[in-house]
Structure 1
Amino acid sequence: MITIKQIEAQDLSGLNQLYHELMGTPSNEQQMNEQLMQKTLQQMKKQSHYYVLGAYDQDELVGSVMGIECLDLLGSCEPFMVVENVIVSERVRRQGIGQKLMLKIEHIAKDLGCAYIILVSGDQRKEAHRFYEKLGFRDEKVQGYRKHL
C-alpha cells in the first residue's frame, strides 16, 4: 500500500537516489550532497510555504513531489502553487503513484486557496506531458526561460 507523507531527514538518501534517476546522472558525491540536502530541508521546514512529499511503499521511498506556495500581488492577490521535482522510480511507474502525489499536492494547494498550479517539464519528456494532461493540466503554450547563476 502506498502512503503519501512529508519527506523527513531520514528519507534524504532515498530522495537523493530518486533525484539522480530524474536527472539521469550518477552521484559521485552522494554523502556531501545528502549533507547539503539535510541543511536545505531544515531551512524549508522553517518556512511554511514548502511541501516536499514522498510516496512510500512500506518504508521505501518510491516517489516525490515538491510544491511551493507563492504569494501574489496581482489581481485578487490569490497565491499559486509551483510544482517541481516530480519523480516516481521507473521500476514502479504506471501504478498510480504519481497520480497520488499530484492529487495530494493539488489538495494542499486548494486548502491554501491557490488560484492555480504551475509546473514546467522538459520538452523531451513526452510521457510526463501525457501524464500531466491526464491530470487536467493544459499546455498553455507559454515559453519557459531559465538563467543559471
Structure 2
Amino acid sequence: MIRIATMHDLEGVLRLYKELRPFDPKLEADFVKEKWADIINDSQTFIVVADINGQLASTCALSLNKSIANQARPFGIIEHVITLNKFRRQGLSKKTLEFAISLAWKSNCCKVMLLSGEQLQGAHSVYETVGFKSGIEKGFVIKP
C-alpha cells in the first residue's frame, strides 16, 4: 500500500534512511521524535511510504514550496527516494514517486524537481519512467 507516513512510521523511515545514508550519526531519540512530529504536522511536507504487510519498504519526501512566480503556484521538491535492498526491482520507488507527484499536481504545483547523485544511473532510469527529464534545468548544490 502506498500512503502518507504517520507518527507511527518513524522507526520504519529511519530504517530506510539508514540504507540510504549508512554513515549518518545516530540522533538522540527525543530529538528525532520532535523533528519527526514537525515533519508529519507540516502541511507542506509529505513522506510517502510503501507499506508491505506492515514493513516500510520504500519512501520519498515531497516538499511544497510557496512562490509568487508562475501565477503564485507552488513548486515541489522530491528528495530521499529509497527502497530497501530486499524490495528493489518491484516497482516500489516508481509507485511512491507517482503518489508524490500526484500530490504535487493536486496541490497545483507548477513543477516538481528532484536531485539525484550523478552516478546513480539505475535510479535515473526510474525517475525517467515517471516523467522526470534531465536537460531542462540544471541543478546545483552547495553544502556547508
2:11 aligns with 13
Show the 5 A alignment for 1:36-115. Answer: 36-115=31-110
Tell me the CA shift for residue 4 of structure 1: 1.3
Number of residues of Structure 1 aligned to a counterpart in Structure 2 = 143
Tell me the CA shift for residue 20 of structure 1: 1.2
Deviation string 1:34-66 (CA, Å, 9 cap, x unpaired) is 433321121123321011111110101111111
> Match of 2:70, SS?
coil
1:147 aligns with 143
- Structure 2 unmatched runs, 5+: none
Which moves more between the two structures, 104-113 or 42-51?
42-51
- Structure 1 unmatched runs, 5+: none
Residues 62, 79 of structure 2: 8 Å contact kept = yes
TM-score by length of 2: 0.90
1:15 partner amino acid: V
> Match of 1:16, SS?
helix
> Match of 1:136, SS?
coil
Identity level (%): 24
Aligned with residue 117 of structure 2, among 85, 102, 122: 122
> What stretches of structure 1 move > 6 A for 4+ residues in a row?
none
Say whether 1:29 aligns with 2:26: yes
Cα distance between partner residues in 2 of 1:87 and 1:39: 22
Tell me the CA shift for residue 139 of structure 1: 0.7
